[in-house]
Amino acid sequence: MATKTNAGLVAYAKAQVGLPYWYGTYGQTANASLLSAKKKQYPDYYTADDFKSQYGKRVHDCSGLIKGYLWSDSATSTPTYKSSQDKSATGLYTAATMKDKISTFPKTAGLLVFRGTSTSNITHVGVYGGDGYVYEAKNHASGVCKTAYKQSDWNYWAQCSYITDDTAADATSLAVQTTAADEKTIWDYLYGKIGNAYGVAGLMGNLYAESALIANNLENTYNTKLGMTDKEYTDAVDSGSYTAFSSDSAGYGLAQWTYSTRKKALLEYAVAQKASVGSLSMQLAFLYKEMSESYGAVLDTLKNATSVLQASNIVLTKYEIPADTGTSVQTKRAGYGQTYYDKYAGISSSASSGSTSTSTVTEKTATDPAKSFSESLAGTYKVSPSSGVNVRNGAGTGKSILVALPKDTKVQNYGYYTSASGVKWLYIQVTYNNIKYTGFCCGTYLKKQ
Query: Rounded distance, CA 390 to CA 403, Å?
Result: 6
92 backbone dihedrals φ, ψ, rounded to 5°? -65, -40
- How many Cα atoms occupy the beta-carbon half-sphere of 84 within 13 Å? 3
**What pLDDT shows up at residue 375?**
77
d(CA 331, CA 348): 18
- Work out the burial of residue 420: count CB atoms within 10 Å of its CB; fewer than 13 is exposed, 13-18 middle, 19 or more buried: middle
- pTM beyond 0.75: no
Burial class (CB in 10 A: 0-12, 13-18, 19+), 14: middle
| 142-194 pLDDT tens trace | 999 999 998 889 999 998 989 875 543 333 333 333 455 578 889 988 998 99
* Domains assigned to the chain: 1-161 (3.90.1720.10), 168-347 (1.10.530.10), 362-448 (2.30.30)
Provide φ and ψ at 103, rounded to 5°.
Answer: -65, -20
Q: What is the pLDDT of residue 269?
A: 93
The Cα–Cα gap between 305 and 311 comes to 6
pLDDT at residue 180, as a whole number = 56
Cα–Cα nearest to 310, from 211, 209, 196 = 196
Strand segments, DSSP code E, in 30-139 are 58-60, 99-101, 112-118, 121-128, 133-139
Low-confidence ranges of the chain (pLDDT < 50): 167-178, 347-361
Overall residue count recorded for the chain in this entry: 449
Q: What is the pLDDT of residue 382?
A: 93
